[in-house]
Amino acid sequence: MEKVRLTSLVRSSGCNAKLPPGDLHDVLSSLPPFHSDRLIGGYEAADDALVYDLGNGRVLIETVDFFPPMVDDPFLFGEIAAANALSDIYAMGAVPAVAMSIACFPSCLELSVLREIMMGARSRTDEAGCVIAGGHTIADREPKFGLAVTAVHDKDKVWTNSGAKVSDVLVLTKKLGVGILMTASKGGECPEASFNAAVSAMRTLNRTARDSAVDLSVHAATDVTGFSLLGHASEMSEASGCTIAIDGSAVPVHDGVHDLAMFGFLPEGRYTNEDYIAEKVAFSDSTGQTMKDILFSPETSGGLLLSMSSFDAEIYLERMKGSAWIIGKVLERDGKPVHVL
């Protein structure tokens, strides 16, 4: 069987395929609100998953995420898609329990490709201790895959994006630049070492990032995906009623990303993200265009962004052993939701 290049079958890939955030906001804000005494958190708060009160001190946490491939290897694509979907549960401080798969698959491809995608997803859910118990598949011109994931968690231990406190520091657990690297890869211009590092990051679960923080005081949390670091930081800032200050020089970036951004290998989502959130961000004069490109670019299966005390952050960084970075701080609300220093 001839090896298929999955990325040649799609127009967009990964979390870059998300609907532009401005368009999504317009649709959601036009809908009548959904009322339920048991719905603690829904889409209105722009949190990573819904939270439904079971009435016994426990809550149901649910999320769904799927997208087109950003890599050609079907198994790797399944791993990345699953890790990305599971991340929303980890960002709520919970542990994924059960999932259902969502697959769109072209009839022109061998079914062995679909099997490899599903086996890749299975490898990630097995590591997470999560069971894939079913799903739904349709024929489509472009391949897409993801998961709907459910967790059950203690009501008083749920993380949200709305509790950031003044004097907290912000901690990020994966490097940025995946969207730029995958764009360059599709054009055949991504260095092999940089591509491999990005794939390794995307297929890595945020399980350790979550587990290393559960006994610390995490005041607010989210994960960094399609709406970019600035987009998700802005959501946290607005939900918490504070200003988030990001130190651009402290933000970790994959090797090769700066050069590729300078040469224009920028995902489309970089521009739709800026269109939506530019007015919410104040940049210092020292912030160069390349850094703006990186901060606005979508990530796929990105890291957790945590707001916690500086004391707890130091403990956390020690536990994470070089896989977490302090990138900013939380300030009193001051004009714009996000400042880049």
User: Is 251's pLDDT higher than 60?
Assistant: yes
Lowest-pLDDT range of 31-35, 89-93, 120-124, 179-183: 31-35
Of the listed ranges 15-24, 113-122, 128-137, 221-230, the one predicted with least confidence:
15-24
Q: What are phi and psi of 179, to 5 degrees?
A: -60, -40
For range 179-186, the mean pLDDT: 95
**Backbone torsions φ then ψ of 157, nearest 5 degrees:** -120, 10
Distance of alpha carbon 291 from alpha carbon 253, whole angstroms: 10
Give the model confidence (pLDDT) of 192-242 as tens digits. Answer: 999 999 999 999 999 999 999 999 999 999 999 999 999 999 999 999 999
pLDDT band at 47 (very low <50, low <70, confident <90, very high): confident
| Helical residues (DSSP H) of 215-267, grouped into ranges | 228-240, 257-262
Angle at CA of residue 61, ends 198 and 98, nearest 5°: 70
| pLDDT surpasses 80 at 66 | yes
- CA dist., res. 297 & res. 269, Å (int): 6
Q: What is the mean pLDDT of residues 56-66?
A: 96
DSSP for residue 31: S
**Residues forming a β-bridge with 104:** 138, 144
Q: Is 108 a catalytic residue?
A: no
Give the mean model confidence (pLDDT) for residues 98-117.
96
Closest CA to 191 of 264, 262, 266, 260: 260
- For position 45, what pLDDT does the model report? 65
Q: What is the pLDDT of residue 5?
A: 84
DSSP string of 283-340, one letter each residue: E-TT--HHHHHHHHS--SS--EEEEE-HHHHHHHHHHHTTS-EEEEEEES-BSBSEEE
Neighbours of 299 (CB within 10 A): 33
Read off the DSSP letter of residue 19: P
Residue 322 pLDDT > 50: yes
Residue type, 267: P
Distance CA 136, CA 104 (A): 9
Catalytic residue among 15, 130, 190, 242: 15
Answer whether residue 29 shows pLDDT above 60. Answer: yes
What DSSP string runs through 32-92? PPP--TTEEE-GGGT-SSEEEE-SSSEEEEEEEEEE--SSS-HHHHHHHHHHHHHHHHHHT
Note the pTM of the prediction, 2 decimals: 0.94
Average pLDDT, the chain: 94
CA angle 18, 20, 25 (to 5 degrees): 110
- Mean pLDDT over 274-290 rounds to 95
Q: Residue 1: pLDDT band by 50, 70, 90 thresholds?
A: very low
Domains and CATH numbers, the chain: 6-157 (3.30.1330.10), 169-340 (3.90.650.10)
> What is the DSSP secondary structure assignment for residue 166, as one 8-state letter?
T
The one-letter code for the residue type at 308 is: M
